[in-house]
């Protein structure tokens, strides 16, 4: 190989390095990062009983009582919502306990009372202070399990739509030989 070819190769390599460095500097100029005045994110926490709480309550739509929602609820639509529950719960009479207890005859049953299922301490305490899974506390629990039973081992975040909760509760009501009567819709 002669020196002219070596000079051409060396020149090409140096040219590629020069172009790469130039593009790097150019991109730093074009996409220059801006430094924030104060690093991090500001987290605003509403004070208890302050204006923020009143504004949040005003923004949240009022949810109809469960009795009213159950009057127009569809058990068939509720059955379609079981996919979120089926991985942890069984629904048939005499069914096995899974990660969660069997939900047959849940409406009207005492919380934390399924034989052979090991409940969390929080759910056992809730069961001691609650007579039965009534429509109202089932609705609240399905909306936000960790708020109703703080410390529950149930990993479900909650069901946001009140209509979906009513449909699911209407279906759960059918999972019984003697379903609990529906609450008065006027409540």
Q: Is the pTM of this model over 0.95?
A: no
Alpha helix positions (H), 83-120: 83-86
Could you tell me the two tokens for 103?
């939900």
All residues at 6 or more sequence positions from 94 whose CB lies less than 8 Å from its CB, including other chains: 102, 104
CA-nearest of 164, 165, 173, 171 to 148 is 165
Confidence of residue 152 (pLDDT cuts 50, 70, 90): confident
List the CATH code of the domain at 64-174. Answer: 1.10.760.10
What residues does each domain of the chain span? Answer: 64-174
Confidence of residue 36 (pLDDT cuts 50, 70, 90): confident
- Angle 66-60-72 from CA coordinates, rounded to 5°: 25
Q: What is the pLDDT of residues 52-99, one digit of tens each?
A: 555 554 555 688 888 889 999 999 999 999 888 898 999 999 999 999
């Amino acid at each position: 190989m002669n020196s002219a070819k070596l000079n051409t190769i060396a020149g090409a390599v140096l040219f590629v390095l020069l172009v790469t460095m130039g593009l790097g500097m150019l991109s730093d100029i074009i996409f220059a990062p801006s430094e924030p005045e104060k690093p991090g994110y500001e987290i605003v926490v509403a004070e208890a009983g302050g204006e923020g709480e009143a504004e949040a309550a005003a923004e949240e739509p009022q949810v109809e009582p469960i009795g009213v929602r159950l009057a127009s609820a569809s058990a068939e639509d509720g059955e379609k919502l079981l996919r979120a529950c089926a991985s942890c719960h069984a629904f048939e009479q005499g069914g096995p306990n899974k990660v969660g207890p069997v939900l047959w005859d849940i409406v009207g049953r005492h919380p934390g009372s399924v034989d052979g299922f090991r409940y969390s301490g929080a759910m056992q305490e809730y069961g001691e202070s609650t007579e039965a899974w009534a429509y109202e506390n089932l609705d609240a629990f399905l909306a936000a399990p960790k708020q109703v039973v703080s410390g529950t081992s149930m990993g479900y975040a909650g069901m946001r739509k009140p209509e979906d909760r009513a449909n699911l509760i209407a279906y759960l009501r059918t999972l019984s030989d003697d379903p609990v009567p529906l609450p008065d819709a006027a409540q």
